Structures are given as C-alpha cells and as structure tokens.
Structure 1
Amino acid sequence: MILLGALVNGLAIIIGGSLGLIFTFIPEHVKDSILKAQGLVIIALGIQMISASTDVIVTLLSLIVGVTIGEYLKLEDKLNGIGHWLEFKLGDKNAGNISQGLVSGTMIFIIGAMSIVGSLDAGMRGDNTVLYTKSFMDFFIALVMTTTYGLGVIIAGIPTFLYEGLITLGAKGFAHFIPEDVLKTMTKQVSATGGVIIFAIGLNMMNITKTRVGNMIPAIFVAMIVIYIMSFFR
C-alpha cells in the first residue's frame, strides 16, 4: 500500500494526541530524554540512507547547489513565516485552543524535511522507513503538545496524512515517466541526499548544531535533475 507510511503517520499523531489528553503532566526532564533518544535514532537513519549513495560527488554537488538555492530564497525563514502567519490568522482570531492546536500541530508535523524526504522515498521507491520513523517521533510530539493545546493537535493528523499522501502519489506518478535504470539510480541518490538532511535534523535535535535544514530541501530535487541529465551522457 503506497500510502501506508502517510496513513501510519496520521494515525500516530491521532493516537499520541489522544493519550496526551490523559497524561496532562509530563516532567521536563522526561521530555528532554525522549527528544534526545529520537535524535539518536534520526542520526542512525540518516547514516543508513547516506550509505545508499551511488556517487558521493553527486551528493555533494546536489547539497552545495541545493543549499545555495535554499539560502538565496531564505526557504526556512519562509516556511517558518507561513507557520507564524497561519497561527496569527487562525489561532488568534478563533476562540479556544482547538484552532491554535490544529494550526500549530499541522505546521510542526508537515513543515520539515522528513515529510518531503519520506513521502518522496515512499512514492519513488515504495520505502516507508522515513515516514515510519517520523511517525514514531510525531507520536510523542503529539502526546506532549496535546497536554497544552488539546483536541486541535489530534485533528492535525488529518491534514498531515493528506499532505504526505499527495506528495507520495505525485512522486509515484512522476516515476512512470523515467526509464527504470535511471529511476533506480535517481531514487538511491535522492535517498542519500535526503539522508544528509535527516542526519542534520538529528544533530539539531541533539543540540549539537543549529543547521537551517529547511534551506537544504532543494538539494533533493537538484539530485533528481543531476541524475536525469547524466543519463543522457551514458
């Protein structure tokens, strides 16, 4: 089932959020330990994905070009700006915490590299590993957030599923137009480039670095283009 990863992610948010309604108090030191443990798993996943690279030079080139584009466009600032704007428009104008929790939760769950990398991986390779790992993380994030924002965080599982599902289906449709041998190389390279981004996310979660991972997202698409162009010279 191609949408299984997106579905599991949406359900993880709903289930985690539902438990959050019960556990209204979680000590700060427990939250910190959970975050650090998730960071270690994300780093390990990133290393595993990077090992799939068929050409380290292409990975490096994709990251250099992609990060340059992202920094020039200030992509991470724009993504954060969208979240703040939606929180202001929907969260502050509506009474209660439901809309605020819905907007805040949705922005946290969908605005990030893991959503895009995971959905592309699911669509192009049929591999839901990244989305499953993200689901595990989002389960605990939803649990903690619901203790503050309430029901709105649980509802955020629906738009998360729709967002990731659309990207997955789009990637699956795109894959039909690419020759099989080129597609295999492309998916491995996309996975490797995405692995570097996942690795950076893990380092950020461990408070080791403060990498602007949002500005690295274009590197994924640069890797696809580079592999496609290289196929004409083989």
Structure 2
Amino acid sequence: MIIGPYINAACIIVGGLIGAYLGGRIPERLRNNLTLLFGLCSMAMGVVMLARVASMPAMVFALLIGTIIGEILSVEHLINRLSSQAKKGVEHLFPQPKNSPSQEEFLQKFVGLMVLFSFSGTGIFGAMHEGLVGDSSILIIKSSLDFFTAIIFATTLGLSVCTICLPQMGLQLILAYLAIIILPLITPEMKADFGGVGGAIMIATGLRICNIKQFSVANMLPALFLAMPISALWLSLITK
C-alpha cells in the first residue's frame, strides 16, 4: 500500500495551516534566517547528489536540452499563472497575513518552494523506491523537513502553501505506481545521472530561495525527464 505521498501532502497542509495561523507571531529575523537555511540545505543536498553523477557530459546535455525545451514551452510562465490563480482563490476564502509579499516576490518564492516540495530528488526517488519495495521511510523523512519548511514559508505566503500538496502528491503517486515498470530498466549509472540533474536543479532552487540568483527553475524541470534516456544513450555510445 502506497502511503508516503499522502503523508507528505498531509505534512505540507498541516505545516501551511500552522504557518498561516502564526503569521507575524514568528519574529522576522527567525523567518529570514530559516528561509536562508532552507535554501542552504537545498544547495547542500544538491551538491551531494551532483557529486555522485556517473557521466558528466550526459548530465550537462540533459540540463541544456531540457532547459531549452522548458524555455520554449515557457513552463515557468505557466506555473506562475497557476500560482497566481491559486493565490487569488485562497485570498477570496481566507485573509492573507499582514506581512504578505508583493506579487513578484510571492511568485518567486512559491515556484521555488513548489520545485523543492514536488520535484526534489528525495521526493522522486522516495516515491519510486516505495512503489518498488513498499518502503516509505525516505518520503517520511522528507515529510518531516517539508513540515517545518511549510510553516516558515506560510507565515508570509499564507495558505497558498497548502495548495502545493496537489502537484506534489500527484507526481509522487504517478511515480510510485509506475516504479515497478520503470526501475527494472534503470542502471545505477542512469540513476546517478538522474540524481545529478536533480542536484543541479536543487542548487538553483537554493540560490533562488536565498535571493542570490533568480534562476528560472521551473524551465529546467524537463531535464529530469531527459536525464535517464540521455544517460542510457551516452553509456551505449562510450561502451561501443
């Protein structure tokens, strides 16, 4: 029975509710410092995943081609529109925090947070791992981190944070139920290269959360779907 995605979604919802309720009660210095810490943790996890890459050329090609496709399709623009609609819908139902950010700042943080929750290597691998062997421990660990992250971000982004559970749970459920088909076809090298692409995206996400560099993170997401095929192609070329 698949339970990890549901636990992860529940933690995001509960954390979002608590953070929205606390709002300005959490000191601004603590909110800012913890936000920077979450960005640092994202970059640290990304570096670890990136260090395990098997074929650097395959990873770079996947990032380049995937980002070009994302830019052409304007993935981030689409997510921004959906995020704006989510924000408006929540604002009609619930009052927003007094320290609610501007629309531009909201979209920057919301998109980065959605990538961190929904498309991190931990979540993707955790969902695939649970689908294959029935072990939800990886997603449970991720859920505990997401819980505290949701609390902090919801103090400024409000209840909109809770809506991130929808793409997060949807993606994890799809991966978990398809894992039995996908994982037997994956070599350790393909998995490592996939993790490397995810690590690079997580580093970009951390830089964005820390307001160091505003990468168009969402436009990089198609690279995740190209990582394993390009890795397999590269391995087949160099082994001939």
Superposed, 1:6-25 pairs within 5 Å as 6-20=5-19, 23-24=22-23, 25=25
Identity %: 23
Q: Which residue pairs with 1:142 in the alignment?
A: 151
Matches within 5 A, 1:27-176: 27-88=27-88, 90-91=89-90, 94-97=92-95, 111-112=114-115, 114-118=117-121, 119-125=123-129, 132-133=141-142, 135-145=144-154, 149=158, 156=163, 159=166, 162-175=169-182
Counterpart of 2:211 in structure 1: which amino acid? N
Q: 1:64 Cα shift? A: 0.9
What are structure 1's unaligned runs of at least 5 residues?
99-103
Q: How does 1:205-216 map to 2 (within 5 A)?
A: 205-216=209-220
Determine the structure 2 residue equivalent to 1:101.
none
1:38 to 1:145, Cα distance in 2 relative to 1, 3 A: same
- When structure 1 is superposed on structure 2, of 18-27 and 51-60 the one drifting more is 18-27
Q: Distance in 2 between matches of 1:123 and 1:197?
A: 18
1:224 Cα offset (Å): 1.7
Could you tell me how far apart the structure 2 residues matched to 1:120 and 1:21 are?
A: 27
Q: How far apart, CA to CA, are the structure 2 residues paired with 1:176 and 1:59?
A: 19
Deviation of 1:134 after TM superposition, in Å, equals 6.8
The question of whether the paired residues in 2 share the 8 Å contact of 1:113 and 1:214 is answered with no
TM-score by length of 2: 0.73
Measured in 2, the distance between the counterparts of 1:196 and 1:227 equals: 15
TM-superposed deviation, 1:148? 7.4
Q: Give the number of equivalent residue pairs.
A: 219
Distance change >3 Å, CA 183–CA 97, structure 1 → 2: farther
Cα distance between partner residues in 2 of 1:110 and 1:43: 13
Per the TM alignment, residue 34 of structure 1 is displaced from its structure 2 partner at its CA by 0.6
Mapped partners of 1:96, 1:15: distance in 2: 16
Contact persistence 1:8–1:132 (CA under 8 A):
no
Q: CA RMSD in A?
A: 3.5
Q: TM-score, normalised by structure 1?
A: 0.75
